[in-house]
Amino acid sequence: MSDKESLRARALHYHSNPTPGKIALALTTSAENADDLALAYSPGVGEPVKDIAANPEKAYEYTSKGNLVGVISNGTAILGLGNLGALASKPVMEGKALLFKRFANVDCFDIEVMTEDADEFVQTVARIAVTFGGINLEDIGAPACFDIEKRLKAMLDIPVFHDDQHGTAIVTAAGLLNALTLRGTELSDAKIVCLGAGSAAIAILKLLSVLGASKENIYVLDSKGVCHTDRDDLSIYKQEFAQKTNKRTLQDACQDADVFIGVSGANLMDGDSLMAMAANPVVFAMANPDPEITPEAARAIRDDVIMATGRSDYANQVNNVLCFPFMFRGALDVRATDINEEMKMAAVRAISELAKEPVPAEVIAAYENVDHLEFGRDYIIPKPMDPRLYSRVSSAVAQAAIDSGVARLKTLPNYDEPLKQ
């Protein structure tokens, strides 16, 4: 059996055993006798109903709303598999719910919406949003995802977060800041090439711009080459990063570049383009499952490269699980009405700074064939199994929500307490 066949067999067994799927509901209070049932349902349930009707904020006190996130998709951009429909996205949405629960004790309902029409999708989510403390959008194709998120954020008074955009951007930015630190370069001075112009790419570049990157130093390439101002086929999202330039190819764009960000496809970064980059190039090749260039191939071409990928079998994995559970944990804990730029930047800095600290033995023990982790070329991003992410990122996000005025509650919980499951 090949490695691919073995993975398929193990994955299908995992998703079907011991029961189909990966998540289930659990009771949080007693239901052992007639009195319990009379309180849980009629007649006792009428009392919180009346209180919530009089004061909607009471829903946070008497229901699960405050710790409940809707993980919602229409299946139009599932992983790297494409538009396979709403039902096919359900294993991914359940997996997202598993990660929310495992890493931040956030409860989730996965919801798959059978429409590719943006208006219908927005209307559906808006009508059910009252159930939740936050909405995580997932696997929605571009450019519709931009419009959907923007409209829902304007309509709702709870956090709305498209993780494929912003989770990827936050973790990428955290790792990139550390990589630039190693080569002694300020973000504002960095020359950046981005191969790919979809939702993740645009979100990464927007966040880097907020953090201090200069748009004049950013070159974006789509399937037709460099996005330049003479092209008449660019979407409004690509136009924001279009340059007035004679550069047309990846190799042109990579000349003396400090950073390559790949969110495109396998094996699209060629050796000549890599060789054209400046000394100690930072290469984030994040296409999944196969990167734009593998670390082995990159280091065979030049040995000064600082690499990150989206894969767990290489050092420096850009993994959204470093962000989204704790982004929502912090937002929910202070009843934030939004996830804003200040909260995203706080998450970037918290993740980035954690990688510079000594790594506990329990983190190293969680990874086979790893006996040492220390800030440097092979460790610029924390490991997903680092329990400190819960306290560091959640608290940073919650504090940023308070400081930026989007928090209903003004006191931080005690994140130093062990995570409760």
Active site residues: 41, 96
Beta bridge partners of 120: none
Contacts of 11 (CB under 8 A, 6+ apart): none
Is the distance from CB of 124 to CB of 155 less than 8 angstroms? no
For the chain, helix, strand, coil in percent to 5 are 45, 10, 40
Is the distance from CB of 48 to CB of 58 less than 8 angstroms? yes
Distance CA 369, CA 290 (A): 21
Is the distance from CB of 160 to CB of 153 less than 8 angstroms? yes
Is the distance from CB of 259 to CB of 193 less than 8 angstroms? yes
Chain centroid, CA 297 distance in Å: 27
To the nearest 10 degrees (0 to 180), the angle between helices 341-354 and 199-211 is 80
**Lookup: tokens for 11:** 């994955």
**Lookup: tokens for 273:** 């383009």
The label of the residue with tokens 């909260």 reads 343
Distances (CA, A) of 287 to 238, 262, 359, 370, 417: 19, 6, 27, 24, 37
